[in-house]
Structure 1
Amino acid sequence: MGSAQEAEELDPQAEVVADTVLEVGGRLFQVSRRALSLHSRYFEAMFFGGTRESSEHHIVIRGTDAAPFQALLEFTRTAQVLIGQENVTSLLETADFFQFDRVKLLCEKFLERELHVSNCLGLMAYSQRFAFVELHASAMNVALTHWGDMVSQEEFKALPKETLMQFLRSDDLFVPREDVVFDSIMAWIMEDPATREKDFLDLVAEVRVAFLSLSFLDILVKRSKRPRQADTFCRLIRRLDSCPPPSWQNVALRPYTGRSYDTLYVLGGKRDKEQQELFLFQPKTGTWQACSPLQRRNLTQYAVAAVGSFLFVTGGYFRDEFVWYSVDWVLIYNCLSNSWLEGPAMKKSRNSHCAVGVGLYLYVLGGSTDEGIIAEVERMALVDSEWESMSPMVQPVERGDAVSVGTRIYVVCGLDENGHVYDGVQRLNTETDSWDVISFSPLPR
């Protein structure tokens, strides 16, 4: 049986006796060969692998500091190690050198907990040095889900082309719009145009051109046509115009999906405040972000719906100095510019109604006017911003819930004109503009 196996057969409960002196970083340490070998494949091979050191009792080890080595010795005695920001690097490198796998794992877990936008690119590169698969994946995920913040980091500016390409090719790259991806490529190139211009077409080939906004494309076209402009940006855009990559020309080579993810907006607040707060939640990153608030006081019982990259706040119950009344207001939040504007007024003032988006149309359904509950339905097309009347609901209701599925709108329950709970599920076929009642709720509310 080999000597390496002999070390494994030593009784871990046996008394630990120092039998060797190690000189590390100018300090002398009395150590137990058995204890070190149980935790380190490096020392197992040194002491029980038939090497020259296996017969020596004073061994000098160069290239390692004393402090992290002492921490490793403490780990062999207590199975605990103190890891902090000030020592994790030296401890990890020493544990890697001496092959203390358990300590390396503890260092990796510590670094995972310390991951942040400001250090993820550095830790991503650092993890490859030690083959930390989980740390690398976690660091990459932070970078992918905070891409807008990455562009301003010094580590981003120094990324190798291959690493940048890896990010750009990922379906998990999270951006509010594809324009950000193009801008990040330009930012990377502008850090060193002399050596990076040649990579422009390779990188821009990873941009999902079908998802670039029309306004952004318009800006690119205008800049490419400016006379007497010889700056790097314009030169690259003209090169793109004259020699676009295959993925920009051949539809079959383009990805079919964009990189944006579902987002959740929450709007509301106390009606007597000067504004209604608006927050954005990103399920991909688990983060909340404050957005531009709705500047309206004494407005309640309005409906909110999303169509495209816009949020629509329609109608509501408003109080001026003395009187409450229904309003026909349409307030529009632009998710891309984080700004509010006023839209065209609805045909009928209403509150406690439903609103829902179907394709590029905004529908408002039912609700109450100052005269009573109504069945009227109207819709607005985003392309022309004009309201048109549609077929009324089968049963007039207020305070119902509406959802769209494909080209169908479902209005569930609500209160009828007598204040009673209506238990029907009404369906609108938006293609034929026809209503029917498809079911009744087992738990009307």
Structure 2
Amino acid sequence: MAIPVDPTEEPRIYQQTLLQEGLRDLLENGKLVDCVLKVKGRELPCHGLVLAACSPYFRARLLAEAGPGQGPRRELVLDDEELEPDLVEALLRYLYSSELPLSDANVKEVLAAASLLQIPSVFTVCVSFLHQRLGLSNCLAVFRLGLMLDCPRLAVAARDLACEHFPLVSKDPDFLGLSAAELTAIISSDSLNVEREELVFEAVMAWASSQAAPAQALAQLLGCVRFLLMPRDYLERQVRAYPLLSSSPELLQKIQQVRDAHRREEGGEQEKEAKKTPAKEEQAPSPGNQEAKEEQPPSLLNKTPRFGMFVKDLIFMINDEATVAYDPTTNECYFASVSSKVPKNHSSVVTKQNQVFVAGGLYYDDSSKENPLHSYFLQFDPLDSDWLGMPALPSPRCLFGLGEADNAVYVIGGKEVNEEEKTLDTVMCYDRHTFKWGESDPLPYEVYGHSVVSHNERVYVIGGKGKDKKCLNRVLVYNPQRFEWRELAPMKIARSLFGAAVYRDKIWVATGVTDSGLTGSIEVYDIAANEWEEMAEFPQERSSLSLVTLSKCLYAIGGFTMVQTESGDFVPTEINDIWKYNDDKKEWFGILREIPYASTATFLPVRLNILRMSKL
């Protein structure tokens, strides 16, 4: 569809097009040519007026050489500059046609030539080209190029990308080729996406180890490392042990200043505790201490957390309206994303790499004639806080389980979404590297309403209902390396629609539906011993309870229970509360009676940066 043109702009665009086509026709036919560019013996005829209009460099030379004695064609020799004839010819043709054949191979040369010859339009086109192709593989090279050409737009964009992915970028061989000033520009940034300052220090030391004379540059770089954000034990045992530091009195002195600052902070904490007792006469700081404090370099005392240090363990609540992250330690919620793309009936899974996937729902694909029905498959993008559409699940189903192992996501069992509602034993496998779906090894039996957990590259399928609609106590484990399912010890109680999670290397299952009704029973499976053990019951009988392991704690969230109405009937009612398990007392205690945004949601343990989200 053509973009509509503003009627007031149409005459100007028409005139520009007419002028450009006319100039190109004059050049191609050698008419009114009054200037020749000479590049390493090669002559390129052109029009001086065009050069002067497009480049301050050419305008200055043409005006300087204008005057009596000039022939019909003025010659501009460019042999003194490091320019190739083909490159200059390409730039010249761009001035007449606005066409410039850019590629990853030549863009840097074109950009350098445009900067040298002062052609702003070419410079802008090259910067936009590099900006669009900016990635982890070239961000350091583009950053250096932006600094060299004094292009802030390019340098800042490349530096921001390097800061965002610093743990990966610091392993790139180009990282060791940065100058001290270039590296300083990166590691001095507050936006560095690192969870621990130790990563910054280790990257600096790796860079210094590759340099010929690193002592002076290292002193400058260490001023950008925020040592006070490191644990004191790491500072004492690891930092001082580096040979480059231990052999330099100047660097050791800097480290000693940081150690002293640590001690003063600890002393300050003790002083605060002392002030809680009856007040004593305050003593003024001694001149010696005051002088030492003033001598501390401000850079070494920088305690401002990096951007990546705001990453926290959160409970991700996903429903069809919004995606919200809940911090149980502070009882705060953060808005992550609108969930208009997420289907109401879905399952979710989080991988070891903290990738969040959602599958479920149903939609009709006109382009697929053989199998037009598909289920949604989405991935959460934590950088943009949005759900991305991934290749659709080709076998739509409901009441299935999701698991992950070996860079793959498994959709296991469930029921067909059609009139037959056939119970399935099939397993679909999504390869996270190739972004493709395929069929995996089927289950030994049909099942739906079961739970799936993943642990140590294994996928466990627990309980559920068979095709006869009877609850199962069977347990299976899948080994992706051997492509086989293996039967494990069965649960003591057959159940479906229950909560399951791995906690302290054991599989916990809680509540659910049995053939006789709801249950509040809890069982724990010892993976090493292949045995089940009964635990204290959950305080209330429920179905569809969610178990989440977060920061070495076990939480139980939501579910459905039977509530008596005023008429005396019992109806299933959704509960949106949160419970936490106490290991010492072996019991559950409630921490929140009702959490907003939890209705109809699935729950996952994730690590996200709270600065990317809005506090609710």
* TM-score between the two structures when normalised by the length of structure 2: 0.47
Corresponding residue SS for 1:374: strand
Letter in 2 for 1:264: N
The residue identity in structure 1 corresponding to 2:161 is V
Contact 1:353 1:366 in 2 (8 A): yes
Letter in 2 for 1:433: G
**Residues 290 and 329 from structure 1, CA distance in 2 versus in 1: closer, same or farther, beyond 3 angstroms?**
closer
CA 433–283 in structure 1, closer or farther in 2 if over 3 Å, else same: closer
Larger strand fraction of residues? 2
Tell me the residue number matched to 1:53: 66
Aligned to 1:209: 230
Alignment gaps of 5+ in structure 2: 1-15, 27-31, 267-300, 313-352, 360-377, 391-403, 413-440, 478-490, 525-532, 564-569, 581-587, 603-616
1:433 is aligned to: 590
1:10-409 pair list within 5 angstroms: 12=19, 16=26, 17-47=32-62, 50-53=63-66, 56=70, 57-62=73-78, 63=81, 64-175=83-194, 177-192=196-211, 195-196=214-215, 198-199=219-220, 201-205=222-226, 208-209=229-230, 217=233, 231-232=243-244, 239=252, 242-244=256-258, 250=265, 254-256=303-305, 259=308, 261=311, 264-266=354-356, 283-284=382-383, 301-302=450-451, 316-317=462-463, 325-326=472-473, 352-354=497-499, 366-368=511-513, 373-376=518-521, 389=536, 392-393=539-540, 396-397=542-543, 399-400=544-545
RMSD of aligned residue pairs (Cα, Å): 5.7
Q: What is the CA-CA distance between 1:151 and the residue it aligns to?
A: 2.8
Residue of structure 1 in register with 2:574 after alignment: 424
Distance 1:198 1:439 in 2: 51
Indicate the SS of the match to 2:162: helix
> Equivalents in 1 of 2:130, 2:261: separation in Å?
38
Q: Answer whether contact 2:545 2:560 (CA < 8 A) is retained.
A: yes
> Residues 280 and 257 from structure 1, CA distance in 2 versus in 1: closer, same or farther, beyond 3 angstroms?
farther
- Residue 292 of structure 1 deviates from its aligned partner by 6.7
What is the rounded CA distance, in whole Å, between the counterparts of 1:223 and 1:135 in structure 2? 37
The amino acid that maps onto 2:258 is P
Instruction: Name the CA shift for 1:103/1:189 in 2 (closer, same or farther; >3 Å).
Output: same
Provide the C-alpha distance between the structure 2 equivalents of 1:314 and 1:436, rounded to a whole number of angstroms.
Answer: 31
Identity of aligned residues (%): 19
Deviation, structure 1 residue 71: 0.9
**Per-residue Cα deviation, 1:182-231 (whole angstroms, up to 9, x for no partner):** 32122122223853354574243357326x9xxxx56x755689xxx894
Listed one character per residue, the Cα deviations across residues 45-81 of structure 1 (whole Å, up to 9, x for unaligned) are 444xx42336643223232332211112211221111
Work out the number of aligned pairs and report it: 382
Q: Once structures 1 and 2 are overlaid, which stretch shifts more, 121-130 or 422-431?
A: 422-431
The Cα shift of 1:373 comes to: 3.0
The whole-number CA distance in structure 2 between the counterparts of 1:183 and 1:76 is: 49
* Structure 1 stretch displaced more, 65-74 or 31-40: 31-40
- Unpaired runs of at least 5, structure 1: 1-8, 270-278, 331-345, 380-385
Residue 315 of structure 2 corresponds to which residue in structure 1? Answer: none
Higher mean C-alpha deviation, range 125-134 or range 239-248 = 239-248
Task: Pick closer, same or farther for the CA change 1:69–1:414 going to 2, 3 Å.
Answer: farther
Relative contact order, higher structure (CA 8 A, sep 6+): 2
State whether residues 114 and 120 of structure 2, in contact with CA within 8 Å, keep that contact through their aligned partners in structure 1.
Answer: yes
Hey, what does 2:438 align to over in structure 1? Answer: none
TM score, norm. by length of structure 1: 0.62
Question: C-alpha distance in 1, partners of 2:194/2:575?
Answer: 37
Tell me the CA shift for residue 150 of structure 1. 2.5
The CA distance in 1 between the partners of 2:58 and 2:148, in whole Å, is 22
Q: Secondary structure at the match of 1:255?
A: coil
